[in-house]
Structure 1
């Protein structure tokens, strides 16, 4: 394997994909470039997989599920996932450098994208080992006499996992490891901008675990039709996907002819309702940090700040100061907490939405453009827009950049109505001095998850997912594990 290292710490990842236990290039030898977003330079290449490669990977996963003992041997799966955990841990610094190279994520904040998913591998191994795959529900009366009923939880089959570029290693793990532990076989299609976070995963599986050939496959490609082929393949029983709502709709349509199960975590445009009794000096600097720390490239980001009119000017000033003092720049510098956008195209989208906000009457408080001191790299200034019309494009469309919009409200009912004025419903936040009042507001927000006073809703033991056009199903917790299983009810003599 060829690697490229420079004085900036950039590290190229595994070029090959994993199909049926073999690390391989596509037959034509075609590759595509991977760009380091902090330097705008080519960091290396990945093999450019084809629809034919995807078909071979699906065939391998189908055969491994139908013909091997993987789906029935919980102890062996447990053994393999503990191997995977240990292998990831050995490779974590390499994985960290690849993450920073592909995404531009600041080294200071990589823990949630490297250490956390590694820990989750062990969690799912233990969860799956302890899970009750056969539940006796007792004896039930029927017209034919008493019948004992048991529920047998079985793996769904072949799972296709399509992952995004914003937190690639974390989501590669989150969308595949519980599926594997539940007894499914998997084909992973990583995002085009971050192929190495997937191909390195494949290399580690192939070289450092006993996971059998065909059980786990990775197909990397720069072509949209490769992921589409995975979604439509009738040999695939389930698709798990994180990404845009538009792509989620396409996946639903592709799976409709076979009524394929889909687990979707889609877009978000979350609101943060700041009540009039909130501690603004506690809530708002944290809100500014959350907007910037991943360059705003987070689906759960509460990017719409709703401030009570009675404290509006005070709140805007605190947000302004926080965003103007937020450290951003070179992701390899431990002093920075915001890096670049992942691509030139993504930065152009962010800047375009900022301009649309200003054109629709929003007031630019700070930021709004490309920082003069960072002429190289896809950097965007931390940006604050005030007086934002809740019906405007910038208030309705997911930005995926370090941008906060601020809108005033008069009453709690008014704030809730503004928060719910969205096609999305993934996350949300409430800040307030009276926790009971904040909880009451949270229960009226039409969203899958809410944080109150900074106490995060997100964690491996709690279900996570969206309402409305933010998705279907749940990840994490026992609910998340059951997504990868089918419950078969069996009636039998008592």
Structure 2
């Protein structure tokens, strides 16, 4: 029975992969014919009987394995209560002035709702010692996590557990995000929850394949064809994510789930502007880790004032950093990271352009594309790194004007306010920052008008009658914008729709590529060849054809060029970027391996002979002439000893 016991052991080891091919090999490799289980004194065809049993067992075992795997990975249901401030119709005092920094208490970060100025709480800015402790705890947890024999199972289980909780608690999550960012519930669902669920499920479906060893072609020369070449993807250790404030739930969860699945620990440095919601979201993740029997130190949250950012970016404890933010801050991050030689992925701003060809407007009309542009511009009050910043319409002026008028009609209907408690119908929420940001936006609008732009709606800050301390800016539409003004060249990151007319495709492309940014873009045309040609001409890291920003939901590698940064997160490349790419080669068979010929073995006894040997070796492997290669092989044989 020992052979049968060995077989059962192999089956148990493969329970998580459910690889039918490997299972079949295990069955065939098991010597059932020598087992007492299948051998009798009057047995005439023991081999045939064994093979029949094997073939009959395969589908049964595969079914049982799959059912067992499904049960093992079943999410663990847990509860995590909503904070009082996120409950419907919560009444909180107004923070005056509505600012995260209070002069009378400079050591604390003050949190408030940008839509209502309601005070949410205050938090200490982390010190260097606290950052070091967080990294140390994270590293210890990561080492135990990755070395756990059940690592593969646990990483899947915790993602499924998070997925189940998110679906069941969508409203609570949206309320928490809205309280801290001022966006609407609908915007929170689309921009925070839906994309996070997609990320989790994409990783569950594709993550293991992306991180399995990658077989490479290996050497081109026949001299080394006995080698197998692979790339192994191993965790870096402790990774850091310095994330922006515009999507607090998404920006917390997405780097966390990628880090966990790739076997890393992660320290998230959240923005001071969303410190309150980040606390809730990280504790949500920690609870999920605990119920899945994983040390919750695997995920850490820190937050400090911008002036103290080097505590994170310059900390030698990180093995990799992802930074999401602006160019000025990125320069400080990169400077500090370079001192400790930490690799950094940098995702910065964008000035994303939508190119609309006249054929699309003629065939599809203006209403549908106008709705897409509205959503891409005004979702989350325009605070989107891949939001629509410019709309460039090519072709005749009649279609351009029809499109402009449709936009003007839609923008005029937008209702601004707080939709957190859903007591009133609201289309657009607040901006996270007011004050100086509003001064900048108003000055840019004024400059654009002076340079000939038509201001069809908005253009200034808005004092809401119910929330006078809230950070509201009017939905703004400017057309015929001069492409050289600040509004057309700088990232607005606000609810401003900028429309430009181009006479043809060449001018449209020149306009699209006229800024320092190159993050995302869209091309709309009913002629697919034309759309592909324009897409190829856009200097951007991500482009959607006849759609807006769907490249992100498709889990493609995300990142830009130029002033939009470098490196990628998301998709296969994003997961692999969190890993040490280890190049590994080994012999295909033990019958052939590398040995040093006597002629070049140290000490070299005959230099001329050694040179003749190595030069012939190069010819034998790489000369384009077959005859020269044959001659080289003869030379090798003559000079090998």
Tell me the TM-score normalized by structure 2: 0.69
1:352 aligns with 2:443: yes
Of 138, 151, 162 in structure 2, the residue corresponding to residue 61 of structure 1 is 138
> Over alpha carbons, which structure has the higher Rg?
2
The counterpart of 1:232, out of the listed 314, 321, 332, is 314
In 1, the alpha carbon distance for the partners of 2:218 and 2:471 equals 64
Q: 2:459 aligns with which of 365, 368, 378?
A: 368
* Residue among 93, 96, 105 paired with 2:174: 96
> Structure 2: 5+ residue runs without aligned partners?
1-80, 94-104, 589-641
- Cα distance in structure 2, aligned partners of 1:393 and 1:117: 34
Secondary structure of residue in 1 paired with 2:126: coil
SS state at 1:114 partner: helix
Mapped partners of 2:159, 2:533: distance in 1: 41
Residue 556 of structure 2 contacts residue 570 of structure 2 at CA under 8 Å; is this kept in 1? yes
1:128-207 superposed matches below 5 A: 128-137=207-216, 140=219, 146-207=226-287
Structure in which a larger fraction of residues adopt strand: 1
Q: How does 1:72-471 map to 2 (within 5 A)?
A: 73-112=151-190, 113-137=192-216, 140=219, 146-209=226-289, 210-221=293-304, 223-279=305-361, 280-308=366-394, 310-311=397-398, 312-332=400-420, 333=422, 335-345=425-435, 346-371=437-462, 374=465, 376=468, 377-454=470-547, 456-471=550-565
Say if 1:211 and 1:469 are closer, same or farther in 2 by CA, change over 3 A.
farther
* Cα offset, 1:487, TM superposition: 1.6
Alpha-carbon distance change, 115 to 437 in structure 1, aligned in 2, over 3 angstroms:
closer
Q: Which moved more, 1:409-418 or 1:59-68?
A: 59-68
Q: Secondary structure at the match of 2:533?
A: helix
- SS of residue matched to 1:169: helix
1:91 Cα shift?
A: 4.4
Relative distance call for 1:163 and 1:71 in structure 2 (3 A) is farther
- 2: CA distance, partners of 1:129 / 1:3: 39
Aligned with 2:574: secondary structure? helix
Higher relative contact order (CA 8 A, sep 6+): 1
Query: What is the CA–CA distance in structure 2 between the aligned matches of 1:148 and 1:74, rounded to whole Å?
Result: 25
Question: 3-state SS of the aligned residue for 2:232?
Answer: strand
Q: Secondary structure at 1:329's aligned position in 2?
A: coil
The answer to whether the 8 Å contact 2:199/2:555 transfers is no
TM-superposed CA distance for 1:95, in Å, is 2.0
Structure 1 residues 3, 184: closer, same or farther in 2, change over 3 A? same
What CA deviation, in whole Å up to 9, does each residue of 1:130-178 have, x standing for no partner? 4443234476458688333232111122111011111111111122211
Superposed CA offset, 1:64-117 (max 9, x none): 345654588322322333333334445443322111100111112222212431
- Give unpaired runs (5+ residues) of structure 1: 13-27
RMSD (CA atoms): 2.8
Cα distance in 1, alignment partners of residues 407 and 225 from structure 2: 69
Alignment counterpart, residue 579 of structure 2, candidates 461, 485, 492? 485
Change (3 A) 1:131 1:145: closer
Output the TM-score relative to the length of structure 1: 0.88
Check conservation: 2:120, 2:276, Cα contact below 8 A.
no
Task: Name the CA shift for 1:329/1:32 in 2 (closer, same or farther; >3 Å).
Answer: same
Q: Residue 50 of structure 1 aligns with which residue?
A: 127
Contact 2:146 / 2:263 at 8 angstroms: preserved in 1? Answer: no
Query: How many angstroms does 1:11 deviate by?
Result: 8.8
CA distance in 2, matches of 1:121, 1:9: 31
Contact between 2:121 and 2:276, CA under 8 Å: does it hold in 1?
Answer: no
**Aligned counterparts of 2:107 and 2:495: Cα–Cα separation in 1:** 35
Larger mean CA deviation between 195-204 and 234-243 belongs to 195-204
